């Protein structure tokens, strides 16, 4: 296009900026008393180092035989005393639906997950399946961003998909493709430690270390790849205090459940034999501040309230 572009003088720029700020301030002032859904900003409680959350999948889908809206389900978490929700059914909703439900409910969503990661794995030998896995994570990144969240939990795949070095290379290659979008949206990609036979010995006894997980995360040399540490998942294999200290700054978020080594089963939070005193000490040692999300049996507001109280007791809150 030919011709000169109009250039705004410094004085004109400042005047225009002042007018813009004044107009936006008046607009906010007019909108605040009405508290319209479209203008609502969902805020978090100030001064809390540990924010408590539950999975969306823990919240009842219906009441009195009638389906509950997404906004109503989020509201139930707020009524139970949770600071927010981990959107673990992200594949069922669009980013717009997630955003609107947060605004309507006033309940914060801090993360997104798509459970198709078990079927469409980043470790798969099938390139098309890996591509679908990447697309699922991209969707989660957009859902979390739209909802105001700060991360996406992923499960890499299964160790049975091939030799350890081969499957590690596969999932590393796929995650690298996702880092630009994660950075653009401000959404870290958070690897969860699960029973998938990766980075630990599934048949070995306890007292394993987090060394292999740390090595994998550090291999990206990126602030956009970190850990979503599930405290209960690997009590069977190692000391949670040692694992938390090993992860250090890499430990961005926590999943919370109980586990009994004696009975070899998951339990409610605070039950079983998981050493919560060690967990609390280790979190203090690394200066952890962030989200801890329950992953246990859920239900109605009464059951969710019970889970929140169990979390508070376990963390000494």
* Owning domain of residue 23: 7-40
Tens digits of residue pLDDT in 62-81: 998 999 999 999 999 999 99
| φ/ψ (deg, to 5) at 273 | -125, 20
- Residue 1 within any structural domain of the chain: no
The CATH number for 66's domain is 3.20.20.150
Same domain as 217, residue 151: yes
Same domain as 226, residue 98: yes
The predicted pLDDT at position 14 comes to: 37
The predicted pLDDT at position 104 comes to: 96
State whether residue 161 is helix, strand or coil.
helix
Buried b / exposed e along 279-299 (16+ C-beta atoms within 10 A) = bbebbeeeebebbbbbbbebe
Which of 197, 269, 200, 275 is closest to 237 using CA atoms? 200
- By DSSP bridging, strand 290-294 and strand 66-67 are unpaired
Whether residue 283 has pLDDT greater than 80: yes
- Residue 54 within any structural domain of the chain: yes
- Residue 110 within any structural domain of the chain: yes
Domain total of the chain: 2
Same domain as 87, residue 185: yes
The predicted pLDDT at position 88 comes to: 94
Tens digits of residue pLDDT in 176-217: 999 999 999 999 999 999 999 999 999 998 899 999 999 999
Same domain as 150, residue 66: yes
Same domain as 213, residue 96: yes
Same domain as 58, residue 140: yes
- Residue 209 within any structural domain of the chain: yes
- Residue 211 within any structural domain of the chain: yes
Same domain as 189, residue 66: yes
- Residue 297 within any structural domain of the chain: yes
Q: Average model confidence (pLDDT) for the chain?
A: 89
- Residue 2 within any structural domain of the chain: no
Same domain as 142, residue 14: no
pTM for the whole structure: 0.85
The set of residues, in sequence order, having a beta carbon less than 8 Å from that of 255 and lying 6+ positions away, is: 153, 192, 228, 229, 230, 231, 232, 233, 292, 293, 295
Confidence of residue 156 (pLDDT cuts 50, 70, 90): very high
Task: Say if residues 42 and 107 touch (Cβ distance below 8 Å).
Answer: yes
Same domain as 34, residue 136: no
Dump the DSSP string for 30-60: HHHHHT-GGG----PPTT-SEEEEEEGGGB-
Same domain as 96, residue 57: yes
The predicted pLDDT at position 6 comes to: 39
Between CA 138 and CA 179 the distance in angstroms is 10
Tens digits of residue pLDDT in 166-185: 999 999 999 999 999 999 99
Same domain as 29, residue 176: no
- Residue 214 within any structural domain of the chain: yes
């Amino acid at each position: 296009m030919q011709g000169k572009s109009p250039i705004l003088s410094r004085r004109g720029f400042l005047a225009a900026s002042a007018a813009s700020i004044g107009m936006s301030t008046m607009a906010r002032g007019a909108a605040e008393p009405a508290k319209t859904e479209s203008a609502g900003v969902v805020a978090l409680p100030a001064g809390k180092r540990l924010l408590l959350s539950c999975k969306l999948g823990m919240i009842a889908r219906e009441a009195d035989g009638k389906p509950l809206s997404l906004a109503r389900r989020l509201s139930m978490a707020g009524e139970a005393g949770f600071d927010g929700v981990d959107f673990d059914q992200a594949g069922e909703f669009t980013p717009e639906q997630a955003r609107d439900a947060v605004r309507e409910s006033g309940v914060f969503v801090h993360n997104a997950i798509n459970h198709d990661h078990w079927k469409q794995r980043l470790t798969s030998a099938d390139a098309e399946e890996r591509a679908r896995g990447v697309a699922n994570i991209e969707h989660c990144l957009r859902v979390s961003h739209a909802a105001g969240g700060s991360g996406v939990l992923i499960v890499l795949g299964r160790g049975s998909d091939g030799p350890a070095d081969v499957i590690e290379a596969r999932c590393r290659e796929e995650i690298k493709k996702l880092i630009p979008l994660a950075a653009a949206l401000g959404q870290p990609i958070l690897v969860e430690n699960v029973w998938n036979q990766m980075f630990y010995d599934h048949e070995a006894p306890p007292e394993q270390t987090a060394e292999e997980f740390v090595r994998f995360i550090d291999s990206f040399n990126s602030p956009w790849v970190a850990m979503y540490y599930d405290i209960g998942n690997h009590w069977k294999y190692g000391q949670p205090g040692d694992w938390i200290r090993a992860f250090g700054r890499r430990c961005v978020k926590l999943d919370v459940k109980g586990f009994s080594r004696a009975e070899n089963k998951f339990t409610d939070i605070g039950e079983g034999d998981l050493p919560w005193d060690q967990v609390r000490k280790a979190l203090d040692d690394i200066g952890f501040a962030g989200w801890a999300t329950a992953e246990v049996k859920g239900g109605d507001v009464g059951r969710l309230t019970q889970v929140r109280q169990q979390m508070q007791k376990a963390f000494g809150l």
